[in-house]
Amino acid sequence: MAFKRYNIENLEIISAGAEGKAVAKQDGLTIFVPYAVPGDFVDVEIYKRKHGYAEANLLAIRTPSPDRVTPPCGHFGVCGGCKWQMLDYKKQLEFKQKQVEDNFRHLGKFEFPELQPIIGSEKIYYYRNKLEYTFSTMRWLSYEDLRRYEDGEFFEQRCLGFHIPGMFDKILDIEHCWLQAAPSNDIRLFCRSYAMEHELPFYDPRERTGLLRNLIIRTASTGDLMVVLIFSDFNQQAADMMQALTDRFPDITSLVYVVNTKMNDAIFDLPFHLFKGQDYIMEEMEGLKFKVGPKSFYQTNSEQAYNLYKVAREFANIQPDEVVYDLFTGTGTIANFVAHQAKRVVGIEYVDTAVADARLNSEMNHIDNTEFVVGDMAKIFTDHFIAKHGRPDVIISDPPRAGMHPNVIDELLKLEVPRIVYVSCNPATQARDLTLLDPKYRVEKVQPVDMFPHTQHVENVVLLTLKPTLP
């Protein structure tokens, strides 16, 4: 029998939960409510119920929480990003700190000290250095749009914006995004208006036709600017649009295009073509320069990345005669950042283009005590690798959200290095891994860092030290 939806009135929101949702409880039932704030009293619609919990839509706010603020973004509530814009930033930080602590307490089986106060982001808007937009003929329609459609009125269905969560073919047309600094919004609006004015075909995700597919904008703390346009073909229309973009924004440092004829939007296996300028932009940190190409990974919040790396470096406490391993090194940002303190740094990364960037960054900064190795961490991080590259004194690990492979954990337990610095973007998988390391390692310090204001995501840095061996 189909579930029958029902409403609950004047429900008290008591805490923040996973995935940016708030939590309420009634008669032993845990209810998850998006866009609600702890302290709110709200009306909700229960649309899904399982054993012990339910999912609800927010219908109305009867009494707003004192921690509720007015979101500045006109797309809030529809766009899938920035789900905490309605929550005071100080409260966001409190909940993120609690998220780390709760994950450690409930998912981990190890002792840990009191967490150091979370490091908040100085910029809470316009902090991202990279955004990706999608051209589409299938704009997400508001209730007003649907009314106009039913009345037979014309409305524009071409759009340039973000995917609606859970809908592969619906794009929210973006007028102003609060995530990336100028001239990001101006570039997007120009691309959209130029394409419409000159009748360039937008991509149809169902028919898989259309010239314009994606737009990527990258900015750097140095002022450098990269724009990447993805077409299904590079014809005269595409070339004219690229030239128009050059004329309108002469300060673009790197203007690149990609031809994607595939059925998906993945482009990192495709060649990138330089149209104007240089094929990279430059980031800078403590006088170190980092080349960022179209395919390069770089932390999305440049300023907060610097704070994150400073914490990792402080926790590592590297001495001049020590060898450091940087696991999951990416483009070698951490490896190069700490190299001047160490005797030698060995970085391991499975993406070969990232390793090429890491080597280039070392060369560009005249760093000669780094070595970067390409390979799958779970397969190459072995006794043989250690014998070849030297035994580490310190390990820094910054794995993806899934955490570290069991093989890597096993090797760390065998190695028994004095200090491990574990940088994580997922405290849940970090708690799992710390439990596995607990037989030999003690958690000495825990430092959360907020990289993404107005989201539930939090970075966390942990210092592990080797437990004393019992006689």
Q: Which residues are catalytic?
A: 425
Q: Residue 134 pairs with which residues in a beta bridge? A: 161, 214
